């Protein structure tokens, strides 16, 4: 029987900015605690910026210190305030925490021309793109890709045949947390963008489209709060 275990845990405190690797994560209603809980809002449009609208966000990483985001840019400088972010991006922005209402995003969807702009909204209380709040992918699926491009929360190690696709519609226990895997994750042009340590590569999305029908990773929602730790085994949720 194939066994899936947690190989890596990632949290992305600020929307579209690189994240931090964790050994243990608290999992609550909106996913991993602190994940996509902050965003950079353009004061001119009122929209939360994404890497598709503002590619420079992809050239930074963020971590939480005392529940507040600290953003590190390529030269090692640390940004802790809206004013420092505005100076870096050369536009008035505000670092905001996800609230009770949905946030509006804007970005491009066309892989070749990057001309087709679209808008979408996040769920209330988080800056996740869709209805799912925890993303999972297996080492089997990620073979040949750099996993940093896909911003997954949990990277699973698979000791047999199969992938995370086999978990669709499954009710799972990982550590003490309960997850329901609800849908595959559709990929967009952002996975092709340059980011820290990675060059722009249109071939990434073309390959995902050709080999996996534009789907890589699965999205889950939390139905039982708990802790997930590296090495935890993915198990059926007890009934």
Fold of the domain spanning 4-231? M1 Pyruvate Kinase; Domain 3 (2.40.33)
Sequence ranges of the domains in the chain:
4-231
d(CA 145, CA 207): 10
Distance of CA 205 to the CA centre of its chain: 16
Note the pLDDT of residue 155.
97
105-114 pLDDT per residue, tens: 554 444 444 4
For 33, the 3-state DSSP assignment is: coil
In sequence order, which ranges of the chain are alpha helices (DSSP H)?
A: 82-89, 139-142, 202-212
The stretch 159-187 carries a mean pLDDT of 92
pTM metric for this prediction: 0.90
133-143 pLDDT per residue, tens: 999 999 999 99
């Amino acid at each position: 029987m194939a066994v899936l275990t947690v190989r890596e845990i990632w949290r992305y405190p600020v929307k579209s900015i690189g994240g931090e690797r964790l050994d243990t994560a608290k999992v609550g209603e909106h996913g991993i605690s602190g994940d996509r809980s902050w965003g950079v809002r353009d004061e001119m449009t009122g929209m939360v910026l994404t890497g598709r609208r503002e590619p420079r966000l992809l050239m930074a990483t963020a971590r939480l210190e005392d529940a507040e985001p600290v953003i590190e840019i390529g030269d090692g400088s640390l940004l802790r305030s809206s004013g420092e972010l505005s100076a870096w991006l050369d536009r008035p922005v505000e670092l905001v925490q996800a609230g009770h209402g949905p946030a509006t995003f804007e970005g491009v969807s066309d892989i070749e021309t990057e001309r087709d702009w679209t808008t979408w909204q996040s769920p209330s209380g988080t800056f996740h793109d869709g209805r799912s709040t925890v993303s999972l992918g297996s080492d089997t699926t990620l073979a040949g890709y750099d996993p940093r491009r896909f911003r997954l929360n949990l990277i699973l190690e698979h000791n047999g045949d199969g992938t995370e696709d086999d978990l669709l519609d499954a009710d799972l226990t990982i550590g003490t947390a309960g997850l329901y895997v609800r849908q595959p994750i559709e990929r967009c042009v952002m996975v092709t963008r340059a980011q820290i340590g990675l060059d722009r590569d249109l071939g990434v999305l073309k390959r995902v489209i050709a080999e996996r029908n534009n789907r890589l990773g699965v999205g889950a929602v939390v139905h039982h709060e708990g802790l997930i730790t590296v090495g935890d085994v993915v198990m059926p949720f007890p009934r």
